[in-house]
Amino acid sequence: MASRRRRDRPAKKEIVAAKADRQGYSKDGIKLVANNKRAFHDYEIEGTTEAGVVLRGSEIKVLRAGKCVISGAHIRVVRGQAVMFGVQIPEYPWAHQFNHEPARERKLLLHKREILKLEVELRQKGSACVVTKLYFKGAIVKVEIAVGIGKKLHDKRETLKDRDAKREIARSIR
């Protein structure tokens, strides 16, 4: 009588893993909502940081459905707080008067030293802080922010040429 669990039923861990797999989560508990590939085209990315986001309930519901646009999102430090601008989260149709504003500014959850480091990096000429990913880590919404220096037009063309050359080399090797 050591184990009360029936032998033909899967363990609770297996049930949770199967449910997470159905809902689009990876094995490490991350579900990608939005990805900003344009940021890597427009900026020379130097480093990334993970931050939490302060959201409302109706925003969480929309993000769980996978609806969000982060292509024009950027970060600024305002009065000692990191704030995210330009993220478009559409209204939740069943929230009625409790709904959120789609393009409102959202506060990021970072440690004070991370905010100070970010502020110093943003003061450099030509640097910007952009959102590269928005995802669920477990039940918590996280953003990956990256500090980068804006590319000139000729730099973008050079990057495209290098990428095409690497593709041709890989194609010829196969």
Decide if pLDDT at 21 tops 70.
Answer: no
Which CATH number is correct for 24-173, 3.40.640.10, 2.30.30.230, 2.40.280.10, 1.10.1040.10?
Answer: 2.40.280.10
Q: Tell me the pLDDT tens digit for each residue of 25-59.
A: 777 788 899 999 988 888 889 889 999 999 988 88
**How much of the chain exceeds pLDDT 70, in percent?**
87
DSSP alpha helix (H) spans, the chain: 12-22, 38-42, 57-64, 112-122, 153-173
The pair of three-digit structure tokens given for residue 53, joined into one six-digit string:
């986001």
pLDDT at residue number 145:
94
Decide if pLDDT at 124 tops 80.
Answer: yes
Tell me the average pLDDT of the chain.
86
CA angle 28, 29, 34 (to 5 degrees): 110
The pair of three-digit structure tokens given for residue 142, joined into one six-digit string:
């996280």
Q: Whole-model pTM?
A: 0.76
Decide if pLDDT at 141 tops 60.
Answer: yes
CB 120 within 8 A of CB 98: no
Decide if pLDDT at 71 tops 60.
Answer: yes
For the chain, how far is it from start to end, CA to CA, in angstroms? 59
- Which stretches of 73-156 are assigned E, i.e. beta strand? 74-78, 81-85, 106-109, 127-137, 140-150
Of 15-29, 81-95, 129-143, least confident by mean pLDDT is 15-29
CB 73 within 8 A of CB 86: yes
